[in-house]
Structure 1
């Protein structure tokens, strides 16, 4: 470990994600599920600023209702900082200030982005210099989506989603239009609804595998850089339970898909909806249509880099 004190503040930007595909395995004895997902990091970022302090604290600003975010040691960003401090035997603390742009409980991994950003920020602020591989190992201890928020780009995630394999795409970027809900959805509740759905229809649907896989059509579409092919391959096992819990999302999906979107999908456990557009012009037109209907809409591109330092 090296000396602290050369930086007074560190600024890190960490991206949210879309699950281009998400296959969920059967529930296991511990209540968890293995998944096979295709992540894509998109240009909607959390901004994490880290300052030297004697203890650990976090505060948030943003255009969302922030009242439900814990500010104590249960917060994922604080957990990340404390894990790094224990690992590096660093005796100080950190004050984290986070500008939230990724929706809270929105299925885009905002909390995971905060954790990944905290790891990168504290490593630079404290001069611990653990390196990317070591930070990825710490990220995997914090949550399934945290390693991907650290890595970025496009990747296959298996196991709990934390075993990552990068996917190369020949396309410079894909155009996405996001509809951000004014409310969140509990990830455990959505998984629970999926399990209940499968139990209700056990006689009618094929049993879920213990270890799901990513459809090869998704990988082919990404490698070809073809948004039309990718639109045909979008899939999410959590979409049906999310729509069951929030039926109003169905109308928004239909609105987007009837107004120029190649396809729409619930991102992760929702309720954020991600619409894939053919090109910039189509994305702009769709943005206008959805905004005019009274929805909170953001236009983003992907893939983008994972959590990284910003020079202020």
Structure 2
């Protein structure tokens, strides 16, 4: 169709909100799944003038997923974006009750970003199924945002590439582009400068969430305080450890166990001393290595195999811990048939 003629037809048929009514005949629903993440390595630089810290991190998407069920609301303005938390969420009800259901929710902000660039947006309702710990250092809110970007792009026929969606996601936070990408990746800058890393063989982990959350800015602040009190001068990181990338490339859990590292772990343990006992207990029960994921307080244990991960999860559960056996890397945000 000639572009001019197409434009004329659309203009002639636009409704009061400037939408083509062909896209507003009946509600459409899509389900999108996006993974949580752990950091196999995490190096943090000094506090910068802009209030951020430079990082060099190795991200790994793992099989603990958030899901967003997005449903269009035909005949409504694109500003009519609502959100709810699904009853099928597996997290504690008290924690779920604290999730904002307004513009404080990253998913709502993600939908607005896509609406701003879509030709024919309408209102949308976002039902979020939560499985990734809240304020747990696994990027659950970022996964919600990534899933929403993919869902709204498909619902409104926006036709954005993954790179374009990542640029929108970067406006919401450094972890959103990685939740879109998935797999394994090196993150530089504030974590948003991503380069895919080769990790063809899944590795097996056990995650132990805490019954509380930790504020990411507070954890970074505690790291700054600990460094200052120890007289340490942090260096701006420019790359991740080559040993970590080699271990991921080889799919070798024993090699990776020797080089797992998180600069934020000491700060997280300082704020939540109970994490130290959990970390030690997991290793006593057979984990190859352990670390706090990101800013915490979720703890990740590396296992030798899927079978060993299952055994470790069962052993930790007998001691009263919630424990999930997962694998990674896995795909980023994607439509669920």
Counterpart in 2 of 1:284? 310
Whole-angstrom distance in 1 between the partners of 2:302 and 2:41: 13
What residue in structure 1 maps to residue 10 of structure 2?
A: none
Query: Are 2:311 and 1:261 equivalent residues in the alignment?
Result: no
Aligned to 2:85: 60
Q: Which runs of 4+ in 1 moved over 4 A?
A: none
1:157 Cα deviation after fit = 0.5
Partner of 1:145: 175
Which residue in the other structure is 1:106 paired with? 136
Where in structure 2 are there 5+ consecutive unaligned residues?
1-18
SS of 2:294's partner is coil
Contact 1:39/1:156, CA 8 A, preserved across alignment: yes
2:196 maps to: 166
Distance 2:315 2:214 in 1: 25
Is residue 27 from structure 1 mapped to residue 56 from structure 2 by the alignment?
no
Looking at structure 1, the residues matched to 129 and 112 of structure 2 have their Cα atoms a distance apart, in angstroms, of 20
Q: Partner of 2:236 in structure 1?
A: 210
Return 5+ residue gaps in structure 1 as ranges.
none
Structure 2 residue 248 is the aligned partner of structure 1 residue 229:
no
> Do the aligned partners of residues 151 and 7 (structure 1) sit closer, same or farther apart at CA in structure 2, a change above 3 Å counting?
farther
Match of 2:222 among 193, 207, 219: 193
Between the two proteins, the alignment pairs up a number of residues equal to: 307
Listed as ranges, the matches of 1:36-185 within 5 Å are 36-53=56-73, 54=76, 55-61=80-86, 62=89, 63-64=91-92, 65-171=95-201, 173-185=202-214
Give the superposition deviation at 1:208.
1.2
Considering only aligned residues, what root-mean-square deviation do their CA atoms show, in Å?
Answer: 1.4
CA offsets, 1:254-292, max 9 Å, x none? 010011100011000000000000012211111111000
Match of 2:32 in 1: 12
Q: 1:8 offset after TM fit, Å?
A: 1.3
Secondary structure of 2:152's aligned partner = helix
Structure 2 distance, partners of 1:112, 1:4, is: 28
| 1:88 shift after superposition | 2.1
1:170, distance to aligned residue in structure 2 (A)? 3.7
User: What is the TM-score when the length of structure 2 is the normalising length?
Assistant: 0.88
Deviation at 1:136, TM superposition (A): 1.2
Q: How big is the shift at 1:7?
A: 6.5
Q: What is the SS of the residue equivalent to 1:166? A: strand
In the alignment, the residues of structure 2 paired with residue 112 and residue 169 of structure 1 have an alpha-carbon distance, to the nearest angstrom, of 22
Counterpart position of 1:238: 264
Give, in angstroms, the shift of residue 89 of structure 1: 4.4
Maintained 8 Å contact 2:43/2:237: no
- Distance change (3 Å), C-alpha of 1:95 and 1:170: closer
| Higher RCO, 1 vs 2 (CA within 8 Å, ≥6 residues apart) | 1
Q: Give the TM-score normalised by structure 1.
A: 0.95
What CA distance in whole angstroms lies between the structure 2 residues aligned with 1:129 and 1:213? 34
